[in-house]
């Protein structure tokens, strides 16, 4: 049985994108409706791995083309090692989800605010349980 208090708590989300403006925008969008709590933002692979380890997010939202990362699937595997309970939502520019290999879900970067929130929530283990 699910703990009602845990189910009502905001989802813990880590944002990973090279552009600080994108991270700020995503964080602002995810605050809408208070369903998500951004526990960290990272612009480099090293930052992302450190924050994933330190914050243990429920969902990691990431751009798989992060400079310095060894490639989408390999970087996703490293994030999974750092935060084993986290589910991964990859943001892509097209419907071709080659960059999302190894992720739990993907969403187009052309989303509306409610679509991003819905994608994060539906990617979480809470939605799967």
Please say if the pLDDT value at position 25 is more than 70: yes
Confidence band for 15, pLDDT divided at 50, 70 and 90: very high
Beta partners for residue 88, in sequence order: 60
Only one residue has tokens 């914050």, namely 55
CB atoms within 10 A of CB 71: 14
- Domains defined for the chain, CATH in brackets: 4-128 (3.40.50.2300)
pTM beyond 0.85: the answer is: yes
CA distances 54 to 47, 57, 115, Å, are: 10, 9, 28
Over residues 49-92, the pLDDT tens digits come to 999 999 999 999 998 777 766 667 888 999 999 999 999 999 88
Q: How far apart are CA 63 and CA 65, in angstroms?
A: 6
Identify the bridge partners of residue 89 per DSSP, sorted by sequence position. Answer: 61, 105
């Amino acid at each position: 049985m699910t703990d009602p208090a845990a189910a009502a708590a905001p989802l813990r989300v880590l944002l990973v994108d090279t552009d600080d403006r994108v991270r700020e925008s995503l964080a602002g969008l995810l605050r809408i409706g208070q369903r998500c709590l951004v526990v960290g933002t990272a612009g480099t692979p090293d930052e992302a791995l450190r924050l994933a380890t330190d914050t243990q997010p429920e969902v990691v939202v990431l751009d798989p083309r992060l400079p310095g990362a060894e490639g989408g699937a390999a970087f996703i595997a490293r994030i999974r090692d750092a935060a084993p309970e986290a589910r991964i939502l990859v943001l892509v520019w097209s419907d071709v989800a080659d960059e999302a290999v190894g992720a739990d879900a993907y969403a187009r970067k052309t989303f509306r605010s409610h679509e991003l929130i819905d994608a994060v929530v539906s990617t979480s283990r809470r939605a799967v349980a």
